Amino acid sequence: STRFAEVQMAPPIEVFAVSKAFTDSTHEKKVNLSVGAYRTDDSKPWVLPVVRKVEKMLAEDDSLNHEYFPILGLEAFSTAASKILLGDSHPAFGEGRVTSVQTLSGTGGLRVAADFLHGVLKYTSVYYSSPTWGNHRLIFQLAGFTNLCTYRYWDAEKRGLNIEGMLEDLSKAPENSVVILHACAHNPTGVDPTQDQWKRIADLIESRKLFPLFDSAYQGFASGDLDHDAWAVRYFADRGFEMMGTQSFSKNFGLYNERIGNLVLMLKDPSCIPAVRSQLTLLVRGCYSNPPCHGARIVTKVLTDPALFEEWKECIRTMSGRIKEMRKGLRERLEKLGTPGTWDHITAQIGMFSFTGMTAAQAKHLADKYHIFLLSSGRINMCGITTGNIDYVAEAIHDAVS
Ligand code: PMP
């Protein structure tokens, strides 16, 4: 007999299943619009030139070794990362109210945050948008949160933000609920609140005594401008909220598999920081002991060297610029074909994804007939579109929707 006979098959993770369907397809015009990674106009992954350059420098640097990193990671990395999120000169740094730790990318940052919020602060309730990135719920569930709730976000009819629904749902959240907010380029909808809407969200979070957690996975990648994409986080920081932010360098540095991210905590009282860090140290120690070094060294070098920093910003503009071009091109083609519905949301949305409004049946039609693979929610990764396949994709969408 085996102990494992009763193990139930877990549900597949859609984004990986869809990508596998793409890989398995032998159709010559197949297109992958599912997974969230940047592709060049030749459909290739892109190692940022500034990353290559720094990797060569690191390879030549005989002073580096493979000793363990500290449990909370490289401090120079965490500090530099926090500064691009909050802005170099944010007064909270001078006031000693910010602390941060290197994490296993955005996902790892969210998990350490969730472990701390549940295990140390004893919070049990979390609110995330409907829809949201497929991992938010799982991370908080595994960390022990028991009240896993959604707030309305996407208005399918308007193809935009349902701000009244969002505020109404959050107004019913119990005190100390964690509210996950996407710092910019909301995944999967590509729709962010306006500055006025962010102010209303902040007012509500303050009056209902909720806890904001910003998930920042696309800074710079969204608009091409680091400061613009950090507006909401900085607005909350300026209002003096106690909050957390998780940063991912997967997309904006193209360092997906290096697992490099940062968890930033903003407190009201600097004297609490040593105890907070000691608890974070225990959580990390019992989970993975200490983080990897390669990504941290690359990002630190780039963020702290003015010339490399400029080169990186140029890379970000290249990526976000290509995405904007593809948005424009897809919308133009659909409008020219007279595809039923309105398509201005394709260019209004920002970041890597577009929530097209297509149904699961239409997504299936695209996969079956055209070997164009997207999520059943109708979310497409704009980076999957290139000048070489944009006509094919537009005509296929036209056929699926008509
Ligand atoms: N948050 C959001 C909203 C994301 O889209 C992603 C990446 N898909 C992440 C966090 C985390 O990604 P990573 O763990 O690679 O940083």
Q: Tell me, yes or no, if 24 is annotated catalytic.
A: no
Computed over every residue of the chain, the mean pLDDT equals: 96
Q: What is the pTM of this model?
A: 0.96
Give me the mean pLDDT over the 204-217 stretch. 98
Q: Report the alpha-carbon distance of residue 326 to residue 374 in Å, rounded.
A: 16
Going by C-alpha positions, the residue among 15, 18, 40, 37 that lies closest to residue 366 is 18
Distance, CA 402 to ligand 1 centroid (Å)?
A: 34
CB 36 less than 6 A from any atom of ligand 1: yes
Portion of the chain with pLDDT greater than 90, in percent? 97
Give me the mean pLDDT over the 16-35 stretch. 94
Looking at residue 35, its pLDDT comes to 80
Distance, CA 217 to ligand 1 centroid (Å)?
A: 5
Q: Report the alpha-carbon distance of residue 167 to residue 172 in Å, rounded.
A: 9
Q: Name the pLDDT band for 36 (thresholds 50, 70, 90).
A: confident
Q: Report the alpha-carbon distance of residue 276 to residue 269 in Å, rounded.
A: 11
335-345: pLDDT as tens digits:
999 999 999 99
Q: Report the alpha-carbon distance of residue 253 to residue 53 in Å, rounded.
A: 13
Residue 106 CA: nearest ligand 1 atom is: 16
357-386: pLDDT as tens digits:
999 999 999 999 999 999 999 999 999 999
Distance, CA 260 to ligand 1 centroid (Å)?
A: 11
Q: Tell me, yes or no, if 199 is annotated catalytic.
A: no
The better pLDDT of the pair 12, 299 is held by 299
123-158: pLDDT as tens digits:
999 999 999 999 999 999 999 999 999 999 999 988
